[in-house]
Structure 1
Amino acid sequence: MPPMFHLKLARLAAALWAAGAMLAPVALASPNDAPLDWRQANDTVGRFQRGHVDILRWEEAQHQDPAQPPAPSASLSLATPADAVRQAWKAHLSLAPVQAQLGAALTDAIAQGRWMALDPKMHRRVQGLSELLAVARQARQAWIQAVAARQSIGMHRDSLVAAQAAHELGQRMVQVGNWSRLQAAPSSLALGEAKMALERAEYAAALAERELVRVLQLTGRHDRIALPDGLPALPESLMSADALAHHLQGLRDQLPRAEAMRASAHARLAYEAYRTSHALAIAYRDQVLKTRELMAEEAVLRYNGMLMSVWELLSHTRSRLATAADALRAQRDFWLAESDLQWVLQGGEPTNFVSLGDGASADTAPAH
């Protein structure tokens, strides 16, 4: 998620905190407690420059178990999909002679995902090339899934921050008598759903990382893998239809008639998934997400001008976060579709292709 939106979310949370403070101008202390020093309280809140976001994180830190051991440090860094591919090849000793026959330049091109540099005729001259490509595709897709799953955790945490702010505001309104408990129930329900969504996202990320470890045959060798904060940026241009046809014809010339016909059918579907997924991801990035950001920014301005209720403001925030999650899935789907297309143009036959728009993951099993 862009850093600018984190700032906007912080401003929103601070606004909600201020709204809650105005609803409860009296100290919520028992008669036996000492009077609340409001000047000191204001100074304390002033230390949290990002408003309620910092307050929530400070409160969370206060409740952490001091005896809890720190999270294990990463023992392996996979900053790019090429790192994952090279690591996967290390686990297959039989692929070393294949890499030697290809040479360093072509081997590096495959690891980097530039499979169009590989002439289909190489399959006849280099025994074991199909296996090397299958391992590369599987590792690349497992890396994409793991990075996207981990990236989504941050979005769910942002959603939880917004839900916590709304919940606390609802509780303040109940305390001062402006709302009934029934009226505050939706914000409590939203908070519970946000917590469950975060738990599901964390579990999905753990599963994706476990699958990556399995694909790389690293089970039991590394406690934790370091992955980047997000997926690679989308390319601005795509493989042209002419380039596809030229490369496909070179592949068809190396195959029996029946296999050539299957390769053509696979290529058409893979290219359609590749082209469509790119169009969707670009539309989310350049149109839908930017429009949501504009609406969220305008909502904050209208709220500050007392032209919009806090609940309308929260609705814009939830919509913005949901759109960001959709944009991430679209970006992930493109890179999975791109990997499928490269595989198909080397004679691979995926059992299925990425499903666009429903969050379904592509088949990551190597096809032979």
Structure 2
Amino acid sequence: MKNPLSKHGPSVLVAAVVLSMTAVAGAQTAVEQSSDWKAANEAVGQFKRGHADLLKWEAANGAEAPKDAAAATGFPVPSLEVATRLAWRPHLELQKVLPRLGEANVDRIVQGRWQEVDARHQRRIEGVDEVFEVAAEARRAWLRAVAAKQSVRLQRASLEAAEAATELGRRMVKVGNWSAYQQSRVELGLASERRALQQATVAARQAERTLLHTLQLNGVHERLALPDTLPDLPKRTLSPAELNTELAEIQAQLPRVEQWKAEANFGQALASRDATLSVARGLRDDVMAQRNLIVDESVLQYNGMLKSVWELLTEVQAHAQAQRETIDAVRDYWLADTDLMWVLQGGEPTAFVSPGGAAGGEAAAAGH
């Protein structure tokens, strides 16, 4: 997923907190002579332009959270297209169906342009329904795995900031400028961040295992090399009128009872797609824009010694939480879009995605 304001990536935001620790460590005497948190911040003054130089130092010295070496060397599944083709491969019965669909239609399916596949193939070619079902399962598993990986990366950055702030607090306690009571709250925050990272890591590993199982690569490969971000939201989606035309085409290929089911499923799938898209765009375009503005202003106030490092940390962590919510929302949109495409090919999802709901992950997974 493209970051709407890439300068607010995890490493850049954490730098404002982490590098304050670097400055303090490099100017220990100045910190120990400080009478309050403002004096501690003055240690940053050893850099000519304050955090502007600190951020440059961070970029030059590798601010990104350490990557998972095992995952980086895993079997590459860089896109939805690759995941779909890999999912078809072990299904030997589909190796006769795909050639009959033709290369052009196969390309349309892997690229997510299912509505461009002639619905009449449902009657003409036996096994086409399984082609779409397997593709839908692969898309869902890949989306969840990539989103989970992206969330771990953000959580790791948030923990790094909490660790730096906690260490700074311990030093302030040591020189008598910070009470044990005040530090206890920071320590609890650090424990919470560590717990959150553990939970996110476990969730990401489970999602990766599910993808391995879906692609039938378990037992062959231990890890997968996945992209760092989800695909961005589409600039344009098919309108209800266009989708209704597609619905009519698929209904014409189905028995009467199945036509009614398709219409009912279409209504739920369309509502889910529209709701998840609205939430995802709102988070990406509105909430994140405000969070970016708040962080920018907080850094300026911190540089001007109007905010403490712990107040800045609070804003950085709130920004990271908003990013995680945005990731989940974008994932939910793509899951809902997959369900809608599948319904328009005669598929019957047993659960539909609700914004921020479990159906975006566990519930939908249980249904397929």
Residue in structure 1 matched with residue 176 of structure 2 by the alignment: 177
Cα deviation, residue 53, structure 1 = 11
The 1-side partners of 2:175 and 2:248 are apart by 74
Residue in structure 1 matched with residue 14 of structure 2 by the alignment: 9
The 2-side partners of 1:51 and 1:174 are apart by 26
Cα deviation, residue 10, structure 1 = 1.1
Q: 1:10, 1:53 within 8 Å by CA — same for their partners in 2?
A: no
SS in 2 for 1:228: coil
Residue in structure 1 matched with residue 199 of structure 2 by the alignment: 200
Q: Deviations over 1:97-151 (max 9, x none)?
A: 1101101110111111110011222100010001111111001111111111111
SS in 2 for 1:363: helix
Q: Name which of structure 1's ranges 180-189 and 210-219 shifts more when overlaid on structure 2.
A: 180-189
Q: 1:144, 1:332 within 8 Å by CA — same for their partners in 2?
A: yes
Q: 1:87, 1:216 within 8 Å by CA — same for their partners in 2?
A: yes
Q: 2:276, 2:354 within 8 Å by CA — same for their partners in 1?
A: no
User: With structure 2 as the length reference, what TM-score do the two structures score?
Assistant: 0.85
The 2-side partners of 1:113 and 1:297 are apart by 38
Residue in structure 1 matched with residue 364 of structure 2 by the alignment: 363
Cα deviation, residue 189, structure 1 = 0.9
Q: Give structure 2 stretches of 5+ with no counterpart.
A: 35-45, 48-52
Cα deviation, residue 16, structure 1 = 5.1
Q: 1:12, 1:300 within 8 Å by CA — same for their partners in 2?
A: no
What is the aligned length?
A: 341
Q: 1:274, 1:338 within 8 Å by CA — same for their partners in 2?
A: yes
Residue in structure 2 matched with residue 296 of structure 1 by the alignment: 295
Aligned CA RMSD, in angstroms, stands at: 2.8
Q: 1:120, 1:250 within 8 Å by CA — same for their partners in 2?
A: yes
Q: 1:17, 1:52 within 8 Å by CA — same for their partners in 2?
A: no
Q: 1:167, 1:188 within 8 Å by CA — same for their partners in 2?
A: yes
Paired amino acid for 1:127: E
- Percent identity over the alignment is 40
Q: 1:88, 1:136 within 8 Å by CA — same for their partners in 2?
A: yes
Residue in structure 1 matched with residue 142 of structure 2 by the alignment: 143
Residue in structure 1 matched with residue 261 of structure 2 by the alignment: 262
Paired amino acid for 2:259: A
Q: 1:366 to 1:93 in 2, by over 3 A?
A: farther
Q: Give structure 1 stretches of 5+ with no counterpart.
A: 27-40, 61-69
The 2-side partners of 1:52 and 1:84 are apart by 33
Q: Name which of structure 1's ranges 215-224 and 318-327 shifts more when overlaid on structure 2.
A: 215-224
Cα deviation, residue 191, structure 1 = 0.8
Paired amino acid for 1:301: L
Q: 1:149, 1:208 within 8 Å by CA — same for their partners in 2?
A: yes
The 1-side partners of 2:106 and 2:312 are apart by 52
Paired amino acid for 2:79: T
Residue in structure 2 matched with residue 33 of structure 1 by the alignment: none
Paired amino acid for 2:109: I
Residue in structure 2 matched with residue 224 of structure 1 by the alignment: 223
Paired amino acid for 2:252: D
Paired amino acid for 1:146: A
Q: Deviations over 1:292-314 (max 9, x none)?
A: 01100001101211222333222
2:252 matches 1:253: yes
2:325 matches 1:326: yes
Cα deviation, residue 184, structure 1 = 0.4
Q: 2:145, 2:204 within 8 Å by CA — same for their partners in 1?
A: yes
Residue in structure 2 matched with residue 349 of structure 1 by the alignment: 348
Q: 1:56 to 1:326 in 2, by over 3 A?
A: closer
Q: 1:14, 1:53 within 8 Å by CA — same for their partners in 2?
A: no
Bigger radius of gyration: 1
Q: Name which of structure 1's ranges 141-150 and 275-284 shifts more when overlaid on structure 2.
A: 275-284
Cα deviation, residue 166, structure 1 = 1.6
The 2-side partners of 1:291 and 1:248 are apart by 39
Q: Name which of structure 1's ranges 179-188 and 70-79 shifts more when overlaid on structure 2.
A: 70-79
